[in-house]
Amino acid sequence: MNIRPATEADLPVLEELWQSFATEVPESPWQDVDPDEELREIAQIVAGEVALLAEDDDGTPLGFVLARREGSRLGRITDLYVAPALRRQGVAASLVLEASARLQELGLEYVRLEVVASNTAARAVYDRWGFDEEEVTLVTPLDALARRLGPTAAGASTGVVFVQTDDVVAVERAASAFVPRIGSSGSTVDEPVNGWVAVHDAVAAHEPDALRRLARELSDRLGAVVVLLGIEAGAVVRLVALERGSIMDEYLSVPEFHGPLPPGDVVALAANPTVLSRLTGAEPAAIRAAAHTAATPAELPPPAEIAARLVAVLGLPPLDG
């Protein structure tokens, strides 16, 4: 194998190798790659920076590396590619070793490179070579950011009470004792789905304390398992599971959203998969995976998404149904 500086005459070969490299890079929905601009940059590096080509003994190109100065002490490897059939044979390491020597000749002390987070194979190689994480690029869709941080992030509370029974008449009778609005617009008792009856109240749905009282009264009056599921202040998800009027488990996606709590209370507001599994029949692992907690709402998926996952895992009627 021979490693030599690439020249202007090698640009067609470098272009072909770069095109092969580009087909292997996972497409990103947020990043636009302009092939013409990339090829212009390659020509600039060949003309005045560090551009190396690896060839076998008969002159067949094996791979290439491009690097350039980024500051008084820092260089950057912009491209590194080796043909797939020739990987794991030391070609890439030889290219980077030679490139690093040439960067040192320019008076540089450090070199950096970029790699896609999902490219675990390349990251493992760079880790072995001694590259450390110094910066992390974070990306999110603007519409998702708006959902989490926009005006609705401080929005109204909403919630539903689910009763574990098929006896809708009994639920209607019990609910009407506490919610005289049942049957009017926005206050309904739905037909059973998956063994659960959903109780919607137009007023209590937007008042977390009132919704909790309704859930407790229904569980106590009916002697049933009741699950309250709500989104508070448009930001956090609360789930309360009751049996015969007693709270068996409670979950809040951001335990200290309403203020600091003793450490024991913070732990208690993480869902207990064993208890919820006994009450609902759901798989504990699935409950654990759905009931995320964090220090702030921004660290979690949107609350509606968490609520929908919990509904699916616990076998509750759809929230929009």
Q: pLDDT tens digits, residue range 87-108? A: 889 999 999 999 999 999 999 9
Closest to 80 measured CA to CA, from 134, 129, 36: 129
Report pLDDT for 317.
94
Contacts of 310 (CB under 8 A, 6+ apart): 229, 237, 239, 290, 291, 316
Stated pTM of the model: 0.54
From residue 192, give the alpha-carbon distance in Å to each of 40, 166, 180, 307, 317.
Answer: 65, 5, 21, 19, 8
Structure confidence at residue 57 as a pLDDT band (50, 70, 90): confident
Residues above pLDDT 70, as percent of the chain: 92
User: What value does the mean pLDDT take over residues 52-79?
Assistant: 92
Name the more confident of 151 and 22: 22
Spell out the domain ranges in the chain. 2-129, 150-314
pLDDT of residue 183: 67
Reduce the secondary structure of 203-237 to three states and give it as a string.
CHHHCHHHHHHHHHHHHHHHCCEEEEEEEECCCEE
For domain 2-129, say whether CATH 3.40.630.30 is its number. yes
User: Would the CATH topology of 2-129 be identical to that of 150-314?
Assistant: no
Instruction: Give the Å distances, CA to CA, from 101 to 7, 94, 97, 106, 110.
Output: 18, 11, 6, 9, 11
CA-to-CA dists, residue 139 to 64, 145, 253, 295, angstroms = 29, 10, 23, 20
Cα–Cα distance between 11 and 42 in angstroms, integer? 8
Topology, domain 150-314: Alpha-Beta Plaits (3.30.70)
